[in-house]
């Protein structure tokens, strides 16, 4: 046999095995056999390209998660992808040559519907239907179908895409159930739950929140969440931390209620984001701590009252016991001084005078200690007299001047509250003199600023301090003053600047006692 024919025979065998990389080089004769060899080589190139394309198509065809079916013009299945065989529990070879209605729950309906709709639209159709697997499982599906054409633009069949809707519906149902659970928790919670935008405008608030904020419904004119924060200083601090942190937990805030009532609350709040990662607002929870806060205030007042009772007992013991003994000694010294007129002894006279002076100093010091522990004027004549006496005593012993502006008919109030206010004023003055090195202290007290509340303004011209460098909520002196005020549901605003001085603005609600005034 002609060697070239043998080569052609081997080449065709390789082609039949799917090996299309082999070629035959034509001879130099350029005869009919060489022309045939060239055609065979070209055929190999086309077969190779066609095979690669088909493999590429098959990879895509089988990787699609939707069910794909290639149908002939009669509706029989020529091929189906892997998703179709898995969802229908049927191997591809069993699907092939079966009519597409084989997988439908309504025999004879699906293919007729496809033909009539495509004939009417001559494009692509989409519709909902239902199919079943070989094992009998029913699936709601969404179908898309179009014609298939050959290179001559002749219709050779249909491409049917079937999407299983059961998972989507299950997911949607799960979302609905989750939303219903969330909504139920949101509405039934005994704590206030809210959602606000970046400006604090209420977007959502549950019934507990509406009761807490005293609003019946959300309107464009409704106050923002930030407007409901009672104290401006607290509001600024809260908004600063909210902007700088991702989440705030158990922030103590006073919220405005009905008729200017103040509600002590714990607020936890976090930022919300959209799908692009942009901040859209905040969501949070508000716990009404009024009852718990009142219990805490009662405990604080009980501790303070116990301390004051102990102070009162010590002051009384000093006055009644030590004071009486010192008075007795003074009586004897005075008697000795009277007797020493008949004794001409300068040394005796010196010792006697020094003893008398030391005793007078001891009695003055005892008086000061007793006053600091518990002023007798506070017990007998009330707050305004005690404050005036305190300033008079300190004015004599220091270079500090006091500017007092106390309401003329200052009402008689609960004795425990009087003691609390006196201690705050006493501590402020002591700090102004000792640490602030002040030369002037202003004290204003009245009840006309806000009816039912005592307004107290304390201000000095001392050294002051840096508000940003001192945590006024943790400093012991400032913390004591604040806890005393808050134990009576009052507010304390502190201002201070280095080289300028310090200022307290105190507002405490009170009840008159039997309409008496001082």
Mean pLDDT of 259-268: 82
- The answer for residues whose C-beta is within 8 angstroms of residue 123's C-beta and 6 or more apart is 146
Per the CB < 8 A criterion, the answer to whether 437 and 462 are in contact is: yes
Q: Which residue has the higher pLDDT, 354 or 430?
A: 430
pLDDT tens, residue by residue, 402-430: 999 998 888 888 888 888 898 899 889 98
pTM for the complete prediction?
A: 0.41
Rounded Cα distance, 114 and 147, in Å: 10
CA-nearest of 316, 340, 238, 314 to 282 is 238
CA-nearest of 37, 40, 38, 92 to 61 is 92
pLDDT tens, residue by residue, 280-320: 999 999 988 776 666 666 766 676 677 666 666 666 656 55
Question: Hey, which residues does 75 pair with through a beta bridge?
Answer: none
**What rounded mean pLDDT belongs to the chain?**
80
Tokens 């970046």 -> residue = 198
pLDDT tens, residue by residue, 23-47: 888 887 777 777 777 877 887 777 7
Instruction: Give Cα 311 distance to the centre of its chain.
Output: 44
Specify the pairing of strand 401-406 against strand 440-446.
parallel
Per the CB < 8 A criterion, the answer to whether 450 and 260 are in contact is: no
Long-range Cβ pairs for the range 50-59 (8 Å, 24+): 51/18, 51/20
Residue 102 tokens read as 């084989």
Tokens 């009816």 -> residue = 451
b/e map 277-297, b = 16+ CB within 10 Å? eeeebbbbbbbbbbeebeeeb
Mean pLDDT of 171-177: 69
**273-255-413 Cα angle (round to 5):** 165
Q: Tell me the chain's radius of gyration from C-alpha atoms.
A: 48
Instruction: Give Cα 350 distance to the centre of its chain.
Output: 76
Per the CB < 8 A criterion, the answer to whether 144 and 161 are in contact is: yes
Percent of the chain with pLDDT over 70: 75
Confidence at residue 46, expressed as pLDDT on a 0 to 100 scale: 75
pLDDT confidence bin for 514, thresholds 50/70/90? very low
Q: Which residue has the higher pLDDT, 88 or 364?
A: 88
Rounded Cα distance, 517 and 486, in Å: 25
Per the CB < 8 A criterion, the answer to whether 250 and 266 are in contact is: yes
Which stretch of 75-84, 164-173, 219-228, 505-514 has the lowest confidence by average pLDDT? 164-173
Burial (CB < 10 A; 0-12, 13-18, 19+), residue 339, is exposed
Rounded Cα distance, 449 and 315, in Å: 35
Rounded Cα distance, 460 and 462, in Å: 6
Per the CB < 8 A criterion, the answer to whether 421 and 410 are in contact is: no
pLDDT confidence bin for 109, thresholds 50/70/90? confident
pLDDT surpassing 80 at residue 223: yes
């Amino acid at each position: 046999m002609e060697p070239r024919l043998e080569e052609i025979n081997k080449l065709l065998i390789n082609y039949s095995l799917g090996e299309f990389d082999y070629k035959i080089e034509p001879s130099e004769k350029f005869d009919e056999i060489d022309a045939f060899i060239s055609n065979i080589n070209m055929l190999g190139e086309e077969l190779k390209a066609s095979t690669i394309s088909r493999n590429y198509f098959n990879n895509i065809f089988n990787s699609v998660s939707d069910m794909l079916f290639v149908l002939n013009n009669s509706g029989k299945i020529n091929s189906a992808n892997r998703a179709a065989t898995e969802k229908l529990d049927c191997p591809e070879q069993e699907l092939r040559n079966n009519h597409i209605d084989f997988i439908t729950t309504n025999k004879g309906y699906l293919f007729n519907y496809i033909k009539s709709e495509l004939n009417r639209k001559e494009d692509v159709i989409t519709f909902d239907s239902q199919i079943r697997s070989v094992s009998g499982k029913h699936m709601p599906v969404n179908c898309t179908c179009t014609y298939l054409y050959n290179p001559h633009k002749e219709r050779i069949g249909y491409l049917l895409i079937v999407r299983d809707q059961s998972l989507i519906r299950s997911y949607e149902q799960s979302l609905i159930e989750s939303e219903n659970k969330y909504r139920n928790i949101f509405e039934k919670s005994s704590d206030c739950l809210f959602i606000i935008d970046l400006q604090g405008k209420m977007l959502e608030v549950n019934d507990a929140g509406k009761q807490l904020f005293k609003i019946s419904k959300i309107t464009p004119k409704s106050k923002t969440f930030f407007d409901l924060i009672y104290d401006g200083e607290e509001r600024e601090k809260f908004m600063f931390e909210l902007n700088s942190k991702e989440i705030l937990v158990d922030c103590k805030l006073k919220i405005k209620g009905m008729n200017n009532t103040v509600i002590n609350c714990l607020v936890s709040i976090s930022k919300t984001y959209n799908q692009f990662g942009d901040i859209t607002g905040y969501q949070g929870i508000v716990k009404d701590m009024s009852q718990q806060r009142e219990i805490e205030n009662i405990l604080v007042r009980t501790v303070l009252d116990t301390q004051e009772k102990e102070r009162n007992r010590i002051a009384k013991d000093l006055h009644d016991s030590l004071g009486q003994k010192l008075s007795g000694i003074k009586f004897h010294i005075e008697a000795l001084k009277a007797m020493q007129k008949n004794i001409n002894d300068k040394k005796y006279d010196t010792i006697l005078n020094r003893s008398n002076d030391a005793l007078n100093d001891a009695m003055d010091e005892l008086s000061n200690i007793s006053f600091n522990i518990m002023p007798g004027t506070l017990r007998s004549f009330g707050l305004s007299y005690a404050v005036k006496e305190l300033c008079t005593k300190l004015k004599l012993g220091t270079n500090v001047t006091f500017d007092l502006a106390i309401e003329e008919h200052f009402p008689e109030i609960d004795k425990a509250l009087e003691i609390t206010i006196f201690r705050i004023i006493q501590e402020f003055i002591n700090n102004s003199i000792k640490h602030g090195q002040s030369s002037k202290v202003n004290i204003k007290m009245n009840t006309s600023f806000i009816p039912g509340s005592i307004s107290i303004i304390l201000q000095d011209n001392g050294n002051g301090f840096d508000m940003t460098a001192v945590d006024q909520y943790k400093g012991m002196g400032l913390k004591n003053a604040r806890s005393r005020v808050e134990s009576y549901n009052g507010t304390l605003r502190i201002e201070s600047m280095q080289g300028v001085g310090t200022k307290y603005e105190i507002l405490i609600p009170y009840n008159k006692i039997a309409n008496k005034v001082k």
